[in-house]
Structure 1
Amino acid sequence: MLKIGLTGGIGTGKSTISSIIIENGFKLIDADIISKEVLLKYPEILERVRIDF
């Protein structure tokens, strides 16, 4: 199984490439979506990060 990591700064085309990946039937795991879901479920994590850093 081939795994590809997609990274880049703002405006570099990550969303465009992600759309192309999905349109071609490949699975996409979006870490941004996962992290937002985790913080909604466990908001104390964000508070802990603010305190420790």
Structure 2
Amino acid sequence: MKKETILGPTMTGPLLQAAGKNQAQGFQTVYLVSAVLLAVIALATLVFARLE
């Protein structure tokens, strides 16, 4: 089994459960965390990539 198939639900499950009955807020939090993580990885790639 791939790591991605385990990591996704493991990370998003607690965020959705923490939202309680307001599932829309839970999904908004999940998308926000995903967007921030993507931005951090993109910025790190721009800073540390060796362009030759």
Task: Tell me the TM-score normalised to structure 1 length.
Answer: 0.32
Of Structure 1 and Structure 2, the greater helix share is in: 2
Task: Tell me the TM-score normalised to structure 2 length.
Answer: 0.32
